[in-house]
């Protein structure tokens, strides 16, 4: 049976982490290990993990680190990951995994061509702090996952992502500057869509708990979705965000990107567009897309205005 290593970054998670740990022990897939990096918690998080280590027969590794933030913490877990494992899962401290999560992901990845970097991600069952259902999130992607989408949008919820050993080696090959990465799961989507296979599974794999302290949260209402999209564009505007991440990818992997069309689209996206005519010309030839028509319209408007 293939071995899965779970990579969990924790920070002041005493309220919810026990439920997450319990859901790992209840997985149908039994061959797994757990690697936790505590990101400088000041509550009882590490005490709860230490007690769990005593009760769980599988390997549980805990590193107590300084507070660096969610993105550097997950990249540190990638550095430390045991590359004798077959598959790797990102894990958040406040969710609950459905029992078949590892089993389904491992089954999908086992069908990928040997040596090809690959990842699988799913939708979630959105839940409130008490795990009462709020609906399914996010919606099924309207278009296929691809590099042309990943440059301008992340559709992979990190807490649902499982990736193979070839993907781990790909990311480790050129570790990025965390300050230039929008989110660790976005970086994975970007890199694997460039060189491998990205698989979407519409069946939810986790209860995605919303409690006001989430690093990234979901939304099911129309107004909430619109507010979230606008906040996302504002957060990621300008060359220091979306374009900065693309530049970091180009610095890390540009020479290795043998697909000439992908390389041209990448280089066009990161090129300066100081003049309005340059922006119009760029959009005429761009293949980049977001997942819905309104999002694409807004993206084009932000390009034309020089906002991105």
Q: What is the pLDDT of residue 12?
A: 98
Strands 206-209 and 96-97: antiparallel
Q: What is the mean pLDDT of residues 24-47?
A: 98
Q: What is the pLDDT of residue 212?
A: 75
Domain ranges of the chain: 4-220, 223-304
For 206-244, the pLDDT digits (tens) are 999 998 765 555 555 556 655 655 665 555 555 458 999
pTM above 0.85, yes or no: yes
For 57-115, the pLDDT digits (tens) are 999 999 999 999 999 999 999 999 999 999 999 999 999 999 999 999 999 999 999 99
For 123-169, the pLDDT digits (tens) are 999 999 999 999 999 999 999 999 999 999 999 999 999 999 999 99
- Euclidean distance between CA atoms 182 and 98, whole angstroms: 27
* CA 228 to chain centroid: 17
For 261-301, the pLDDT digits (tens) are 999 999 999 999 999 999 999 999 999 999 999 999 999 99
* Residue 5, C-beta contacts closer than 8 angstroms, at least 6 positions apart: 32, 33, 34, 35, 81, 82, 85, 87, 88, 89
Q: What is the CATH number of domain 4-220?
A: 3.90.550.10
The C-alpha R_g of the chain, in whole angstroms, comes to 19
Q: What is the pLDDT of residue 211?
A: 83
Q: In the structure encoding, which two tokens stand for residue 279, read together?
A: 């922006």
């Amino acid at each position: 049976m293939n071995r899965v290593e779970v990579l969990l970054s924790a920070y002041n998670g005493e309220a919810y982490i026990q439920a997450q740990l319990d859901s790992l022990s209840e997985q149908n897939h039994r061959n797994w290990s757990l690697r936790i990096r505590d990101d400088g918690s000041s509550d009882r998080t590490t005490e709860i993990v230490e007690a769990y280590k005593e009760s769980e027969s599988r390997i549980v590794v805990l590193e107590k680190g300084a507070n660096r933030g969610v993105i550097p913490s997950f990249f540190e877990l990638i550095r430390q990951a045991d590359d004798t494992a077959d598959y790797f899962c990102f894990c958040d401290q406040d969710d609950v995994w459905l029992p078949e999560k590892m089993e389904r992901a491992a089954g999908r990845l086992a069908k990928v061509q040997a040596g090809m970097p690959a990842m699988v991600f799913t939708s979630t069952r959105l839940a409130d702090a008490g795990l009462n259902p709020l609906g399914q999130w996010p919606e099924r992607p309207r278009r296929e996952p691809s590099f042309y989408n990943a440059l301008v949008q992340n559709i992979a919820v990190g807490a649902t992502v499982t990736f193979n050993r070839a993907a781990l080696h790909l990311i480790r090959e050129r570790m990025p500057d965390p300050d230039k990465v929008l989110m660790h799961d976005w970086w994975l989507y970007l890199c694997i869509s460039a060189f491998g296979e990205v698989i979407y599974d519409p069946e939810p794999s986790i209860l995605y708990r919303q409690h006001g302290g989430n690093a990234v949260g979901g939304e099911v209402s129309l107004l909430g979705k619109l507010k979230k999209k606008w906040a996302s564009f504002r957060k990621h505007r300008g060359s220091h965000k979306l374009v900065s991440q693309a530049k970091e990818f180009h610095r890390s992997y540009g020479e290795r990107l043998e697909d000439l069309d992908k390389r041209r689209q990448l280089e066009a996206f990161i090129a300066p567009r100081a003049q309005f005519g340059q922006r119009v010309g760029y959009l005429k030839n761009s293949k980049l897309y977001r997942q819905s028509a309104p999002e694409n319209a807004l993206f084009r408007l932000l390009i034309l205005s020089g906002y991105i």
